[in-house]
Amino acid sequence: MRCCKRLHIIKMVRQMATIKDVAKEAGVSVATVSRVLNQNGYVQENTRKMVEAAIKKLNYLPNEVARSLYFQKSKLIGLIIPDITNPFFPVE
């Protein structure tokens, strides 16, 4: 049972679209897709629309872990509490 659960998770991960998949679907380079995503550099309007359509079709989401490593910002905060049973820090 555990093995089957792992395979299901692996299949889910493989189904995630990559920036290369988006580039192939839109018929452009990976660099062009990157320019559209980061909104920098020049991209013609019709090319931008093709890339955005491919992103929508493939349900592409940028990998936030990779982005946080590159930009050295994670947009996460940590919370340290002394005891989760403390009524001042309810679980709900």
Report the pLDDT value the prediction gives residue 27, as an integer from 0 to 100.
Answer: 95
Q: According to the model, what pLDDT value does residue 90 have?
A: 61
- Whole-structure pTM over 0.95, yes or no? no
> What is the spatial distance between Cα 70 and Cα 8, in angstroms, rounded to a whole number?
29
pLDDT for 6 equals 59
CATH (one of 1.10.260.40, 3.40.630.40, 1.20.58.410, 3.20.20.70) for 2-71 = 1.10.260.40
Q: Which residues of the chain have pLDDT under 70?
A: 1-14, 89-92
Query: Phi and psi dihedrals of 80, rounded to 5?
Result: -110, 120
Cα Rg of the chain (Å, integer): 20
pLDDT at 3: 59
Q: At what angle do helices 45-58 and 30-38 cross, to 10 degrees?
A: 90
Domain borders along the chain are 2-71
Residues 43 and 35: their CA atoms lie apart, in Å, by 7
pLDDT value of position 58: 94
